[in-house]
Copies of this chain bind each other. A is one copy, B any other.
Amino acid sequence: MQRAGLKRTAQRDLIVDVFLRTEDHLSSEDLYHLVKAQDPTIGQTTIYRTLKLLTEAGLASEVRLGDGRTRYEPNNKFPHHDHMICTGCGRTVEFFSAEIKRLLDGIAAEHEYEPKQHSLRIFGVCADCRRERNERAEIESSVETHVHLDYARAAK
């Protein structure tokens, strides 16, 4: 599986095993905690190094969702997809559009670039967060109204 001059160790087995099972976009730290639950002696560094190796080997992909950290997803599930990220709750939707891919390849060809990879993220507000936002706006505006009523004269 990862034979390319690489050694197989108990740590790597465990990390890869845990990692490939996940559906989420794990940060190195997330994975560290998950793995540590099964082997408390594991070190952060090993996780970082293993994720890097997996990425280089094409088994994992780096994903940046907007918080500072690098997240990873296993490549064994879907071949490629992009992400739509809710800026309210962080929820992500994965999507793939062959049509977009085609357009991107066209753009690359136009400028004589050999496309290797792309990163496409849509940032927006999901339905739930929109609803929540509207509710909050209602509450706030009613509060403001009260304030105006109570202190309008005092303010002047």
Task: Name the interface residues of A77-120: CB closer than 8 Å to any CB of B.
Answer: 84, 86-87, 93, 95, 97, 99-100, 103-104, 107-108, 111-120
Which size bracket describes the interface of A in this complex? 20 to 34
Copy count, this protein chain: 2
A122 within 8 A of B: yes
- Give Cα distance in the complex from A121 to B97, angstroms: 15
A125 within 8 A of B: yes
Q: Return chain B residues, CB-CB under 8 Å to A84.
A: 107-108, 111, 113
Which chain B residue has the least Cβ–Cβ distance from A105?
B122
- Given A100-B100, A100-B103, A119-B119, A114-B125 contact (CB < 8 Å): yes
